[in-house]
Amino acid sequence: VNSGLMKFVAVTGCPTGIAHSQMAAESLEEVVEGTDDEIKIEIHGSSGTENVLSEEDVEEADAAVVASDISVDTERFEGTSSVHTGVQAAVTDAEELIEAAKAAVENGEDKVSYESDTNSMGIVKKIKEILS
């Protein structure tokens, strides 16, 4: 794992509202918090887009994480190592996604798909953790 600072950009998106997108963003932020890495996250929900990534954000990023169940602009990540998955995976497997993004950078991979092995019960468990 890279010991230096890595900059990540991420996009989360959910068709039914903002909750999953927001939870996914928070999970990704928690993983990066307390490390030397940085992350900036664009959130897509029923109320529109929050925290839109600038061209500069994307250019400066070492890797991108796209965790979305809706169509989002991924062309802007051409030439940047990126991991693509559903929004659910970012809620339950955020650490694995960040590790996959780091591995993509180290291996010089452009676009990696991440399949989550968690089901909808994972989200219920996560919600209970947050509420408790």
Catalytic residue numbers? 14
What's the CA gap between 76 and 83, in Å, rounded?
13
Written as one letter, the residue type at 2 is N
> Between the CA of residue 27 and those of 78, 94, 120, what are the distances in Å?
25, 6, 16
- CB neighbourhood size of 129 (10 A): 8
